[in-house]
Amino acid sequence: MDFFGYYTIDNPAKHPFMMFSTTHLLFIILIICCLYLGLKVSKDYPEEKIKKIEKIVSASLIFGEFIYYIWNIFKCPYPIFTEILPLHLCSICIWTSFLAFWLDNEKLRHFIAVNNMLGALIALCYPATVASINQTFSYRVIYFFISHGTITFMGVMQLRQLKSLSFQDLKFNIPLLAFLTTIAMGVNYFLHSDYLFVGFPSSIPIIQMIYNFVGILFYLPVAILIFSILEILMLFILKNILQFIYHRQRNIILN
Per-position DSSP letters for 32-92, written without gaps between them: HHHHHHHHHHTTT--HHHHHHHHHHHHHHHHHHHHHHHHHHHHH--S-GGGTSSS-SHHHH
Other CB atoms within a 10 A radius of the CB of residue 196 amount to 24
CA atoms of 94 and 214, how far apart (whole Å): 31
**Total-model pTM:** 0.91
pLDDT computed for residue 77 by the predictor: 87
ω into 86 cis (within 30 of 0): no
Q: Identify the burial level of 136 via C-beta atoms within 10 angstroms of its C-beta, where 0-12 means exposed, 13-18 middle and 19 or more buried.
A: middle
Quote the radius of gyration of the chain (alpha carbons, Å).
19
Helix (H, G, I), strand (E, B) or coil at 231: helix
Q: Quick one: pLDDT band at residue 8, thresholds 50, 70, 90?
A: confident
**What is the Cα–Cα distance from 74 to 54, expressed in whole angstroms?**
31
**Average model confidence (pLDDT) across the chain:** 92
Identify the pLDDT of residue 170.
95
Q: What integer is the mean pLDDT of 137-155?
A: 95
pLDDT band (50, 70, 90) for residue 78: confident
Rounded CA gap, 209 and 245, in Å? 39
When comparing pLDDT for 247 and 32, which is higher?
A: 32
d(CA 26, CA 195): 28
Of the candidates 94, 110, 86, the one whose C-alpha atom is nearest the C-alpha of residue 60 is 94
Please tell me the predicted confidence (pLDDT) of residue 25: 96
pLDDT tens digits for range 165-200: 899 999 999 999 999 999 999 999 999 999 999 999
Question: Which residues are CB-neighbours of 24 under 8 A, at least 6 positions away?
Answer: 17, 18, 127, 131
The yes-or-no verdict on residue 130 having pLDDT over 70 is yes
Model confidence pLDDT, tens digit, residues 14-57: 889 999 999 999 999 999 999 999 999 998 899 899 999 999 99
The answer to whether the CB of 94 falls within 8 A of the CB of 62 is: yes
Task: Check residue 14 and give its pLDDT.
Answer: 87
